[in-house]
Amino acid sequence: MKTHHTTYIIIGAGLSGLTTGYTLAQAGITDFVMLESRDRIGGRILTKEGIDYGATWFQNHHEAIPQMLEALGIKKFHQRSKGKGILVYNPNGPVHYFESDPNAPSAFRIAGGSAALINGLAQHISEHIHLNTFASEIIKTENGVRVITTQGIFEAEKVIVTIPPNIAKRLTFQPPLPAAVSQAMDTTHTWMSNAIKVGLTFKTPFWREQGLSGTVIGQIGPVTELYDHATMEEDHFCLMGFLNERLRDFPATERKAGILAYLTKHLGAGVKDYLTYEEKDWSIDTHTSSDQVASGYQSPNYGRPEFQSWYLQDTVLFSGAETATLNGGYMDGAVRSGLHAAAQLLHE
Ligand SMILES: Cc1cc2nc3c(=O)[nH]c(=O)nc-3n(C[C@H](O)[C@H](O)[C@H](O)COP(=O)(O)OP(=O)(O)OC[C@H]3O[C@@H](n4cnc5c(N)ncnc54)[C@H](O)[C@@H]3O)c2cc1C
């Protein structure tokens, strides 16, 4: 098989890897490849039919995201919450209605969906990206490092590994990584890898006509959180939310029927007129998840010291949202880790 030679290799074309590639290109460095196992870029960012099935929101303190959006000329907008939200906490009792405080800082969304950020970064570096290229081995060589993939051998001076640590442990490293690093990989939960999202599109935002915001919250039903997910331009109407993880093992048709019945009960018969319906269970996506499905969304201890050092004689650096020392797990952490990795390569 052909061996490719470049100065740098970035493994993973998610937000972190793309940020590194984009930053290198902006600095005039073009001798690098990006190796991505999926047949698409974006990793845990996936927008289909205007619906974000992966990352969606960022908050005021997530400062690296708006900076990057501005650099790329992409707009942000507030999550819509106008109208009555519904709180379901007792399956047999009445629901509670609530209204969001209009003065409270609400979450932001990215115009065009979160994939707009991915595409904005990638358009500058698309010729460097190799899709369907699964990396399985990283070997220290006499002059640098070799990455063995399903599409051949790639050699470089340095490699940035943005694969979530919990699945990067599947790679073979020669010489092996220190035991503390392998252990850190083993115990670093991949943020949101256990989430199941659901998205529905509609001709009209029928819930608004009843004074509802589209927000439905409650741990007992099949949908634990649901939100109005219209585009910024208000020309495409959707509801998007998270499914109760206990539905994971239900047959798909039974699960869908339960979800539609639940949403119809709370938002009205308009739910049945959906144009498209889709679910995304990240726990069964092997490009994101290992077979350890952790319960709960609590943020583990990200940005561990084990992920801040270079390995294999200064040729391998870990990056990605889970390695970020600030806002780890989030898109903001992914951008920060990507900028950090680029700065290391550029000796900034
Ligand atoms: C359902 C869900 C909801 C979320 N909601 C939010 C939110 O609202 N706000 C927020 O800030 N964050 C959210 N997140 C988290 C956010 O998506 C991540 O922080 C961010 O996208 C991580 O980017 P990354 O590049 O670090 O990792 P990833 O996106 O995981 O990228 C890693 C890349 O490596 C590739 N890869 C894996 N193995 C290999 C291999 N062996 N060889 C080559 N390539 C490989 C993968 O395919 C992937 O493209 C959410 C995530 C999910 C799943």
pLDDT at 348: 74
pLDDT of 295 over the 70 cut: no
CA of 330 to the centre of ligand 1 (A): 9
If one residue of 44, 53, 190 were mutated to test the ligand 1 pocket, choosing by the most ligand atoms within 8 A of its CB, it would be 44
pLDDT of 297 over the 60 cut: no
pLDDT at 294: 56
Cα of 60 vs its chain's centroid, Å:
18
Could you read off the pLDDT of 301-316 as tens digits, one per residue? Answer: 799 999 999 999 999 9
122 lines ligand 1 (CB under 6 A): no
CA of 192 to the centre of ligand 1 (A): 9
State the CB neighbour count (10 A cutoff) for residue 96: 14
φ, ψ for residue 219 (rounded to 5)?
-80, -15
320 lines ligand 1 (CB under 6 A): yes
134 CA: nearest ligand 1 atom: 42
Report which protein residue has its CA nearest ligand 1's atom 4: 55
Query: Domains plus CATH for the chain?
Result: 3-44+117-190+294-345 (3.50.50.60), 77-110+194-284 (3.90.660.10)
Which two structure tokens, joined as six digits, stand for 261? 């019945």
Say how far apart CA 139 and CA 145 lie, in whole Å.
Answer: 6
Cis peptide before 205 (omega within 30 of 0): no
Strand 158-161 versus strand 212-217 pairing type:
unpaired
pLDDT of 176 over the 70 cut: yes
Residue 1 sits at the vertex; the CA angle it makes with 35 and 285, to the nearest 5 degrees, is: 35
Could you read off the pLDDT of 61-81 as tens digits, one per residue? Answer: 999 999 999 999 999 999 999
319 lines ligand 1 (CB under 6 A): no
pLDDT of 300 over the 80 cut: no
- Intra-chain end-to-end CA distance of the chain, in Å: 36
Report which protein residue has its CA nearest ligand 1's atom 29: 43
Burial class from Cβ neighbours inside 10 Å (0-12, 13-18, 19+) for residue 21 reads buried
If one residue of 52, 78, 173, 192 were mutated to test the ligand 1 pocket, choosing by the most ligand atoms within 8 A of its CB, it would be 192
Could you read off the pLDDT of 10-27 as tens digits, one per residue? Answer: 999 999 999 999 999 999
44 lines ligand 1 (CB under 6 A): yes
Could you read off the pLDDT of 211-247 as tens digits, one per residue? Answer: 999 999 999 899 999 999 999 999 999 999 999 999 9
pLDDT at 100: 84
Report which protein residue has its CA nearest ligand 1's atom 26: 320
pLDDT at 293: 63
Report which protein residue has its CA nearest ligand 1's atom 7: 55
Please name the residues in contact with 242: beta carbons below 8 A apart, sequence gap of 6 or more. Answer: 195, 196, 197, 198, 223, 224, 225, 226
pLDDT at 281: 96
pTM metric for this prediction:
0.97
Please name the residues in contact with 54: beta carbons below 8 A apart, sequence gap of 6 or more. Answer: 42, 43, 44, 45, 46, 47, 114, 192, 197, 280, 282
Residue 29 sits at the vertex; the CA angle it makes with 35 and 306, to the nearest 5 degrees, is: 55
195 lines ligand 1 (CB under 6 A): yes
Say how far apart CA 104 and CA 111 lie, in whole Å.
Answer: 21
pLDDT at 101: 80
User: How high does pLDDT run on average in the chain?
Assistant: 95
